[in-house]
Amino acid sequence: MTRYAMLIHTTRCVGCFACRVACQTQNSLPASDSFIRYEEQESGSYPVVYAEQVPLQCQHCEDAPCVSVCPTGASYINNEGIVLVNQERCIGCKYCMTACPYNARIQDHRTGEVEKCRFCVWHDDGSVPEPACVDTCVTGARIFGDLDDPTSEVSQAIVSHNAKPIAAGLTRAKIYYVR
């Protein structure tokens, strides 16, 4: 089995937003829409303060609430653990958007359909695809790979950095963060 996942090293992220631009280009999104957004987190107290950019996108939850609420079956999980939207079935009811606790879905107002990060899945022609955000990251803050393969770079990085999902107790997310 293959279970694709990602690791994001927020302490390496410099907040250049190159991943968002790469994603928008990859997915032909207008400048106003994107599958990646950022939350800024400040910590510490004056004068020792830190600002951290946390990139957020679909977490490809294993127990995806967006999939269970979707009335048309448009939202689904493929056999590699990637959560996808079958655009031909989506009616744009936005039920999935309310169900996603990470606010990771957007509605494309050109079509009315709902979309989100797809781990650049359509590149998959037998070879392991490298999502555009991973490819483009200038500091190498993103690692993509197979969770079920203990020797994969992502599996090993999760263990060595003790990476964790962004929030405990929401869903079984498959994007791991090093913070």
Partner 1 sequence: MIWGSIIAWYLFLAGLAAGAFATAALVSFKDRGRKAFVKVQLVGRIVALLALAIGLFLLIFDAEAGFKNPLRFFYLLTNFASVMTWGVVILGVFGCVSLVTLLLSLLKKHVPYWLDGLGIAAAACTAAYTGVLIGVIKTYPLWNTALLPVLFLVSALSAGMAATFILSALIAPRELEGLGILKKLHFALLPTELLLLVALLYVASSTAPAAQASVERLVSGDLALTFWLGLVVAGLIVPLFSGGIGIGAGGNPGGRGSDTDGADGARASGRGGAGGGGRGRTSSGIRTMEAAGDVGVLVGGFLLRYLIIVAAVPLTFVF
Interface with ligand SF4 (CB under 6 A): 58-61, 64-66, 70, 72, 74-75, 83, 85, 90-96, 100, 102, 104-105, 114, 116, 171
Rule CB under 8 A: say whether 93 interacts with partner 1. yes
**Concatenated DSSP letters for 8-48?**
EETTT-----HHHHHHHHHTT--TT--S-EEEEEEEEETTE
The string over 71-105, giving b where at least 16 C-beta atoms fall within 10 Å of a residue's C-beta and e elsewhere, is eeebbebeebbbbbbeeeebeeeeebbebbebebb
The encoded tokens of residue 17 equal 């937003």
Rule CB under 8 A: say whether 164 interacts with partner 1. no
Q: Rank residues 78 and 156 by Cβ distance to ligand SF4 and give the closer one.
A: 78
The encoded tokens of residue 106 equal 């957007």
CB of 128 to partner 1, least distance (A): 29
Which range, of 26-34, 83-91, 128-136, 150-158, touches partner 1 by CB under 8 A?
Answer: 83-91
Binding mask 107-136 for partner 1 (x = CB under 8 A): x-x-xxxx----------------------
